[in-house]
Amino acid sequence: MENETTQISVFDSTPDTQIYEYKLSVEKVQAELSQYGLTSNQSKVFIYLGKYGAKTAPEVCKSLKLPRTETYHLLSALQNKGIVSATFQHPIQFTALPLSKAIWILVNSEKERIKSLEQMEKGLSELWENIPTFGSIRDEVDEKFQMLQGANQIQSKITEMTDNFKTEFLILGSEKDFLKLYHGDFLESFVKSKQQFRLLSACSEKTVYIFDDLERKNIKKLAKDIQNNLCFFLKDDSELLFFTKNSNSTTAPFAMWTNSQSMIYSMKLLFESLWVNSKYIHL
């Protein structure tokens, strides 16, 4: 059995092998590492080195059944990210950093990249202004839409909407939707806001605490017969973001933003109708 373990990696193990029980855990780790910017094969190599110890490039190539050229590219990419190191000996052996240290490096690298982009904004804006406008600029505002996929894109758009609303902001969502907003600090913008806001939530007694710092008169509880896959945001009767797949979905969230007046009007009517027929949340 020991010989079988050394020949078969956990990645291609079958139900009749001793290490098959670990395969699902490895696949989950692989999926999570994609959130830190690693490709599927990069995370595969990192996990392999982290769990099987120092290996040469040919050993990685053979064990993971990867093309030879791609294996070298993957190892080089992981070295450039700072989470895999190589020895000076011949043949060269590659080792992975401990997971906690690797994540720290990846996170801080992303922070530095974002800081660099922020610092570039002023210079880029100046360059942009130096370029003349060659086409005619129309004053009227066209109705537009934007498709958003994944938590990061959607959260960024919601933050943009909540940061600069002027008159009223409306949110309707399920319990899971509001929990995500709470843990993402999105509800903080309403704590000291002088603008009007109203929230319709399908929260239960267990999660009502997320509204502790907000005005109770601005929050109502949805009836239990309302489907929990309904979620949308309305800003100043001018912008709408609604989910086609929200927090209750098992797949990645998917949403659409639009300034279409007909769609905004329709969703506003829906919100007002539900608001009238809902009860205030009381602690």
Q: How far is CA 251 from CA 151, 248, 273, in A?
A: 11, 9, 30
Q: Judge whether residue 262 has pLDDT over 90.
A: yes
Round to whole Å and give the CA distance between 247 and 259.
Answer: 23
Please report the pLDDT score of residue 222 as a whole number: 86
pTM confidence score: 0.57
Residue in the structure block whose two tokens are 């406008």:
133
Instruction: Tell me the domains of the chain and their CATH numbers.
Output: 2-100 (1.10.10.10), 145-280 (3.30.870.10)
**132 exposure class (CB count in 10 Å sphere: 0-12, 13-18, 19+):** exposed
20 vs 253, more confident: 253
Round to whole Å and give the CA distance between 53 and 56.
Answer: 10
Read off the tokens for 230.
């309904």
Q: What percent of the chain has pLDDT over 90?
A: 36
